[in-house]
Amino acid sequence: MNLELRKIEIKDVVFGEVPGVKDGVLTVCKQDIIDELMEDVNVKSIKVDIAKPGEKTRIIPVKDVIQPRIKVEGKGNGFPGVTSEMVQLGSGKVNVLDGVAVVTIGDIVGFQEGVIDMWGEGAKWTPFSKTLNIVVDIEPVEGLDPHTHEATVRVAGLKAAEFIGKAGKEAEAGVVDKYEMDDIFTETSKYPDLPKVAYVEMLISQGLLHDGYIYGVNSGKILPTLIHPNEELDGAVISGNCVAACDKITTYQHQNNSAILDLYNRHGKDINFVGVILTPELTTLEGKFRTCDYTAKLCRTLGVDGVVVSEEGYGNPDSDLLMICKRLEDSGIKTVLITDECSGWDGMSQPLADTTPEAVAVISTGNVSHVVELEPADRVIGSAEAIATLAGGWEGCLKEDGSMVCELNAVIGATSEIGYHNLTVELY
């Protein structure tokens, strides 16, 4: 597969009547976006706003973050299986509005959402304080069942990103990133002496607000699946996860999966990167045995020498992470784990809910329980009161002056387990 991500550097976003890109400025038409999304009969109202880096703006409660793009050559625009007809992704040329994100907010049925601060202390903890954010506030009609409500909000965000991405169709790209990889046999013949390495990406798959999607299919309904890395970079994997904001993998992060990009960068140099295995994280013991055994079997079938495993979430999925590790190491496959920790406010609690002696190479992406103090905002897009019901927030954490105290749990992308964040870990 050959994929080109053609990056159009966007330096500013403004509202206007005619969408397009000129001299690094993206113009979006607010009413056009509203009209597009209001075509869904389950949507009651849409609000659109812009939040820029450095502004004292707080966005809350966030559901997802999506990168606007348009495919200018090849099959599969948008998100096939969800917003468009099903086609195979991973090839072609894509114009990317680089530096721009669509951020969706609003009531999402449950209580676990997140916050993005565009300035100050809060900005240090989320990568989306650095993007020019087009914020879409989605209000569904009353009376929807919870699953329809959730799907309405999720799909509206994807449609918004797809619609906004059209503005970049004729724009010139400043940087073109090319991703080319043939089948495993061809690549191994090119690099016979390099160790074969696979990437196992665990996806939350635990029910309403706890799901990932692959070509529109709920990951909880599949066995572990081998995909070409280009497919994820091209939009095949999307987020339906609102478990804990800090380590949910947003759709934007799937589109720019840093673990995949790092492995791609080393492909043909010191490793032979053979592909991505998407593994669901289930809640039942039977389900865990099934997916973990199957994941290890796929790795053995591929004949890999090493595996990088990233988790999504913490607590219950820690068991899956360690079970996969044990099975791979017992098979003679070197395994590296990427996970965050739930170590308490003082950082002294047991970091994971499970352990195994085979886990000898573990990368920590931070403590989800770390407490931060966020200054009052000049402008809040959404509802500041939502912090009380976010994972990582509590009743009384919002102060009278508009400041708040919360755990990193509540901050979007703060401890991303694919490494897409600003946090580093210091060992003592």
Measured at the CA of 329, the angle between CA 324 and CA 333, to 5 degrees, comes to 105
Amino acid identity at 239? S
Please name the residue that has the structure tokens 């009609």.
141
Of the candidates 176, 161, 247, which has an alpha carbon nearest to the alpha carbon of residue 212? 247
SS3 state at 83: coil
Query: By the 8 A CB rule, do 158 and 78 touch?
Result: yes
Instruction: Give the whole-angstrom CA distance, residue 416 versus residue 414.
Output: 6
29, 242, 299, 325: which one is catalytic? 242
DSSP 112: -
Tokens of 251: 């759709």
Residue 242 designated active-site: yes
Three-state SS string over 316-383 comes to: HHHHHHHHHHHHHHHCCCEEEEEEEECCCCCCCCCCCCCCCCCCCCEEEEEECCCEEEECCCCEEEEC
CA distances (Å), origin 412, targets 125, 139, 219, 397: 8, 21, 22, 17
CA atoms of 143 and 224, how far apart (whole Å): 35
**Structure tokens belonging to residue 59:** 């966005």
| CB hemisphere CA count around 124 (13 angstroms) | 9
Distances (CA, A) of 268 to 199, 233, 297, 302: 16, 19, 25, 17
- The CA-CA-CA angle for residues 230, 234, 237, to 5°, reads 95
Handedness of CA 250, 390, 204, 221 (dihedral sign): negative
Of 316, 426, 319, the residue nearest 364 (C-alpha): 426
Numbers of helices and strands, H then E, in the chain? 9, 24
Taking phi first (over 0 means left), then psi (-120 to 50 degrees means alpha), and beta for anything else, what does residue 76 get?
left
- Amino acid identity, residue 380? V
What positions carry a catalytic annotation?
242
